[in-house]
Structure 1
Amino acid sequence: MSINAAFIASDIEYVTRMLSYMKGSPIYHTWRMQLYTNPDRLQHPAELDRVELIMIEEKLLPAFKARLAAGGGQLDGSNYMTKHGVVPIIVLVDDRRELAEAELYKYQSVSSLLHQLQQRFERVKSGEGKKLLRKQEQLRTIAVSSVLEQCGKTMMALHLSVLLASKGYRVFYCNLEKWNATDRLLTQLKHLGRGSYSDLLYLVKSNKSQASAWLSEHAYQDPHLQFHTLRAFEHEADRAQLSSDDAKELLNTIAASGLYDFVIVDMPAGLDNWTITVLSECDMHYAVLLPQPLWLHKHDLAMKDAEREYPEQMSELSSKRWHVLNEPYGCCPLDSTIVFHEYLPYVEEWQVGEPKLLGSVSYRAAIERCAQHLLYAGEKAG
């Protein structure tokens, strides 16, 4: 998909940094930038007729609106109206504050900024441009998924949970994998005698109104890592026979409890009716891939099959998906048209022994970059 964008910015150093990043990434072939260093460079609003997205620094916005008005250009809220359709206007703000619908924080990683810009564009393109974006103070349910097994989902989900908890957020780590092996990383879980997903599932089916009080009492909070979680399903059959509707109920019960700011969902591998149904309940999800050409090819095949089988759901999920490439170093060269929003580093010691949670500084730094876009509307102190 190609996006024609107009960028109105007087900060040349900032523009240079963005363009430099784009030239070194796959997004270079899908974005077309039209640069104006100030609104006076815009001779007539007709120059924007073929533009699909407008980015502008907040300080230049009044002059830009005046320029449009003088030339007969039409605004509809935070959108510019052309003869070809609606063009979203995204305002880049300097200061950290609660952001309005059409605002993005200027000083964030370029990969994060471009992803959020593309999300805004896709919402407008799909007819959802006038719907209010989810408020930052609302609970955020975030999934970590992959098409195939052994992509590093659990390590990413656990590190993400630790990071958000360290910022002062109330976090619940929800493992919905078929084989929940997190007791190898969270060793105290195996010694707990109560508080499993089986218990919560029974409560949801029998007396859902008591779920919040039950979670408050029985969810385990790791004293060091700070996030909350439950033990794995106590009975194999409970997880083996868990329907997508039951999984949705579990997830929504945790989310609606009022106890957590974030629910991080560790998903089972695959793209089928079960996983797609659960992913649709999440505000966003990270799709984790490996760089080997065979893995990327399998990912591509699985995506195309899911898009044929579930076109509406997959279209909705595309605007909430971040692609994350795991282990880009020490592997074969990357040859992919996928736009990756972040890269998780190769951790050699994890390949020869038991992976150790928080055992790699570079990995933790990469997770922090992945999570930055969640915190821009006012990061809480850790």
Structure 2
Amino acid sequence: MVPVKVVLAVEDRDYIEPLLNYVHGSEYARRLRITAFSQPEAFHQYMIETSGMKRPEVVVGEAAFLNLWTTRENADIPYLVLYEGEQVSEYEQLLLKYQPLSELVSSILETARQRSNSRKSVNSQEGGMIIGMVAASGGLGKTTTALNMSKQLGNEGYSVFYLNLETMDSSALFTGSDGSSGSQEEGLSRLLYDLKSEGKEGALLSMASYCVHRPEIQADTFQPVYNRKELMDMTCDEAKELIRTIAESGQYDVVIVDGDSEHGERAQAVLEASHKLIWLLADDLMSMHKCGLWLDVLATTQPEGLKAMICKTSFVVNRYMGTMINSLPRDFIELNGALPYIPSWKQMQHPELLLSSPIYQREIRHLCRELLDMESSAQPSVAWS
């Protein structure tokens, strides 16, 4: 299930910390994302600015905090008032402050469940937002960008799935698994089999039994596929069904799809199935040339599809060094962002450090904010304020 976003507002930090520790060490760790406040002013500011996918499902707090949230009646966000027996008659939804933590958390989740059917998806889409990563040639940093986005969004409290559809999956460098020891009856191979076996029922499949959680990238993903032929034989329709099954499973806010770098069946599926596309460029003649050629192919074979694709595409130059030397390959392209060149990555021996650059993370955060309309002052999923 999609983690429930909860705002907790209590003055006593000694109350907040045990609750957070309990959630993190229990079965609720994957079901809750808590942003905690002990200062009324910070809570008030957060509730004014919070919108989009960071909008909480439930607010739980003391009356002194909720009194500052003057727009609560119009916010369409359920709230629970923590009480100890004091007079709180002006509030209808009350929650006993001191009770077994399991019962406290269950009450919060039940409140979210009761409202979930009446809430629209933030993306105005069925299921999670699908973000496709595109590049006209290999070696442009597509996987590095995708995994940094995954980590950033996961740290922000979003539930993320990272799907790699490359024939040669380089993401194993980051997660430490090459798929060579994985069972062929598990993961992506089994899901593809089940989708073919169950047909239209596939959309109802739970992803939990197929994927693994990778804390390095703060996301669920599949073990890398050992049998590359499974990917090479995948049709466009099969790839689109796979992408949409994950997005519509009800588990994820965002699905990041790392597509192949050559125009083919899987690459076409990413173009068609994604709600948003990030098309990576490099400021060199060969990269720009190949990008233009790919766009020409799309313009010839599917002109109407190209128009729709451009509307949802952000063209981003990677390894940007402060100024552009080469021209963009086609006149209709507008550059929507830039990710910096990190010199220390050139001779790096430990790939996991590619997920740890503060400068790169800053620009990734900006890119995520543009894509998902994240508020600029978002708090972490568990915050002290």
Which bracket does the TM-score occupy, shorter chain normalised?
Answer: 0.5 to 0.7
Aligned 8 A contact 1:159 1:367 in 2: yes
Say whether 1:340 aligns with 2:335: yes
Q: Give the residue type in structure 2 aligned to 1:370.
A: L
Matched, 1:309 2:301: yes
What's 1:72 paired with? none
- Say if 1:377 and 1:299 are closer, same or farther in 2 by CA, change over 3 A: closer
- Which residue in 2 is equivalent to 1:230? 222
CA distance in 1 between counterparts of 2:202 and 2:126 reads 24
Q: Structure 1 vs Structure 2: percent identity of aligned residues?
A: 27
Matched, 1:176 2:165: yes
Aligned twin of 2:312 = 320
**Is the Cα–Cα contact under 8 Å of residues 327 and 344 in structure 1 kept in the other structure?**
yes
In 1, Cα distance between equivalents of 2:188 and 2:197: 14
Greater RCO structure (CA 8 Å; 6+ sep):
2
> Given the alignment, which residue of 362, 367, 370 partners 1:365?
362
What is the aligned partner in structure 2 of residue 275 from structure 1? 267
1:158-206 Cα distance to aligned partner (Å, 9 max, x none): 1111111111111000001111121111115646546432121111111
Match among 353, 361, 366 for residue 348 of structure 2: 353
Partner of 1:205: 196
| AA of the residue aligned to 1:344 | L
* Secondary structure in structure 1 of the residue aligned to 2:260: coil
Match of 1:54 in 2: none
Residue 329 (structure 1) aligned with residue 318 (structure 2)? no
1:214–1:369 distance in 2 versus 1, CA, 3 Å: same
The equivalent residue for 1:296 is: 288
Give the conservation status (yes or no) of the 8 Å contact 2:213–2:219: yes
* Separation in 1, partners of 2:50, 2:125: 13
Q: Is the 8 A contact 1:177 1:267 kept in 2?
A: yes
Contact (CA 8 Å) 1:136, 1:377: kept in 2 or not?
no
Superposition deviation, residue 363 in structure 1: 1.1
- Is the Cα–Cα contact under 8 Å of residues 171 and 263 in structure 1 kept in the other structure? yes
Q: 1:321 to 1:327 in 2, by over 3 A?
A: same
Alpha-carbon deviation of 1:223?
3.1
Relative to structure 1, is the Cα distance of residues 200 and 234 closer, same or farther in structure 2, using a 3 angstrom cutoff? farther
Q: C-alpha separation between the residues in 2 aligned to 1:219 and 1:276?
A: 24
Contact residue 165 and residue 259 of structure 2 kept, 8 A: yes
Given that residues 212 and 254 in structure 1 are in contact (C-alpha distance below 8 angstroms), is that contact kept between their aligned partners in structure 2?
Answer: no
- TM superposition shift of 1:138: 4.8
In 2, distance between residues paired with 1:241 and 1:351? 34
Superposed counterparts of 1:1-382, under 5 Å: 95-97=49-51, 134-135=123-124, 138-188=127-177, 190=179, 193=183, 195-207=186-198, 209=201, 214-272=206-264, 274-329=266-321, 333-336=325-328, 338-354=333-349, 355=351, 356-376=353-373, 381-382=380-381
TM-score after normalising by structure 1 = 0.60
State the alpha-carbon separation in 1 of the partners of residues 306 and 263 from structure 2.
10
Q: Are 1:271 and 1:303, in contact at CA under 8 Å, matched by a contact in 2?
A: no
Q: How many residues align?
A: 257
- Report if the CA contact (8 A) 2:177-2:223 is conserved: no
Q: Distance in 2 between matches of 1:222 and 1:273?
A: 27
Deviations 1:119-158 (A, max 9, x none): xxxxxxxxxxxxxx95289520000111111111101111
Find the aligned partners of 1:373 and 1:183 in 2 and give their Cα distance.
Answer: 28
Residue pair 1:212, 1:258 contacting (<8 A) in 2 also: no
Classify the secondary structure of the residue corresponding to 1:373. Answer: helix
Aligned to 1:55: none
Against the structure 1 CA distance between its residues 210 and 98, is the aligned structure 2 distance closer, same or farther, given a 3 Å change threshold? closer
Instruction: Measure how far apart 1:308 and its partner are.
Output: 1.4
Q: 1:158 is paired with a residue of what secondary structure?
A: helix
Distance 1:357 1:294 in 2: 24
How big is the shift at 1:318?
Answer: 0.6
Structure 1 segments unaligned to the other structure (5+ residues)? 1-93, 100-132
- Distance in 2, matches of 1:207 and 1:227, equals 26
The ranges of structure 1 where at least 4 consecutive aligned residues each deviate by more than 4 angstroms after the TM superposition are 188-194, 210-214, 377-381
| Distance change (3 Å), C-alpha of 1:186 and 1:220 | same
Contact 1:165 1:227 (C-alpha < 8 Å) held by counterparts: yes
- TM-superposed CA distance for 1:362, in Å, is 1.1
Alpha-carbon distance between aligned partners in 2 of 1:286 and 1:346, rounded to the nearest angstrom: 17
* Contact 2:319-2:339 within 8 A present in 1 as well: yes
- Whether the 8 Å contact between 2:339 and 2:360 is mirrored in structure 1 is yes
